[in-house]
Amino acid sequence: MRLFDAHCHLQDPRFTPSLNLCLTQARASGVQGWILNSTRETDWDAVDSLAREIKGALPAFGLHPWWLSERSPQWAKNLFERLSLNPSASIGETGLDRWMPNPNLADQTEVLSQHLEFAKTLHRPVTLHCLKAWPELKAVLKKHLPLPAGFLLHSYAAPPEMTPFWIQSNAYFSISPGLLHPKKEAKRLQFASLPLDRILLETDAPDMAPPIERALHKLSDSKGNSMNHPSNLRLCLSALAKDRQLTEEELAEILFENTRRFFQLQLPAPIPLI
């Protein structure tokens, strides 16, 4: 079985003491690759370094809306240069967020728009974050479509009535362990009706942890706070396989191929199912 984590943050300092063990445990559960999403300029080097060190890991560079106030005046130039020098890198994560304290939607929109223009110019896939700003995200995207390499709505939880627009706009959708909480059941069940060739798996580790009793491995930071373990990707596969009435083995190969296609990965083709 081959699994690929389409969205995580292994560069997060909370992983420093346990990363090697976490990766060993994740590989034992079937995880063979990771897209390492950056969040701000100051972690781009860490993402780049880890992507070179970890077999199966690839970088994504961008600015998360939570950290826009930290960006330098040259951030766009720096981002374009880094992407240009790394043809295997995708763009992300970027997006819109009205859940954060005192959101500046105008500033977020400006930054997101620049990321989308880079995605068009460089033909790169882009990973999008969205919390409580789905209509605003739709409005921004409509101004920049089509995106030749598509876009990923990570930890997808938009209102169901918006789904047709995303599908028509070449969106992909990833399910995270955070959607396995009982209160998120309605959001998780949306994945039962999404086009199967547009679905990816993600952890968003160390965040978006599943219910603690379902975690494959318990993991905590230095303060004792629970963290999402990279091996919890397998939980997403199990839940989705049940909802789609597929075996985990056949679903895993479909999702692996989806990931390979979306991120333009030079990986072996899936083994044909008998």
What is the percent of the chain where pLDDT is above 70?
Answer: 97
Using CA atoms, how far apart are residues 33 and 105, in angstroms rounded to an integer? 33
Using CA atoms, how far apart are residues 194 and 147, in angstroms rounded to an integer? 20
Residue 193 lies in a domain: yes
44 pLDDT above the threshold of 90: yes
Give the 3-state secondary structure of residue 99. Answer: coil
Residue 270 lies in a domain: no
Residue count of the chain: 274
Residue 181 lies in a domain: yes
Alpha helix locations (H) across 65-152?
75-85, 105-122, 134-144
Q: Which of 81, 35, 51 is nearest to 204 (CA)?
A: 35
pLDDT bucket at 89, cuts 50 / 70 / 90: very high
What average pLDDT score do residues 194-222 get?
A: 96
pLDDT bucket at 267, cuts 50 / 70 / 90: low
Q: Which of 187, 161, 162, 164 is nearest to 174 (CA)?
A: 187
Give the domain extent around 149: 3-262
> 113-159: per-residue pLDDT in tens?
999 999 999 999 999 999 999 999 999 999 999 999 999 999 999 99
Residue 269 lies in a domain: no
What average pLDDT score do residues 26-54 get?
A: 97
What average pLDDT score do residues 202-216 get?
A: 96
Residue 274 lies in a domain: no
The percent of the chain in helix, strand and coil, each rounded to the nearest 5, is 50, 15, 35
Q: Tokens standing for 264?
A: 């333009």
> 155-203: per-residue pLDDT in tens?
999 999 999 999 999 999 999 999 999 999 999 999 999 999 999 999 9
Instruction: Find the angle CA(229)-CA(180)-CA(159) to the nearest 5 degrees.
Output: 125
Looking at residue 270, the DSSP 8-state letter turns out to be P
269 pLDDT above the threshold of 90: no
Residue 132 lies in a domain: yes
Using CA atoms, how far apart are residues 39 and 166, in angstroms rounded to an integer? 23
Residue 48 lies in a domain: yes
Residue 268 lies in a domain: no
* Residue 175's CATH number: 3.20.20.140
Using CA atoms, how far apart are residues 27 and 33, in angstroms rounded to an integer? 9
Bridge partner list, 94: 128
Number of domains in the chain: 1
* Per-residue model confidence (pLDDT) at position 99: 96
**Window from 2-6, 144-148, 218-222 with minimum mean pLDDT:** 218-222
pTM of the model: 0.95
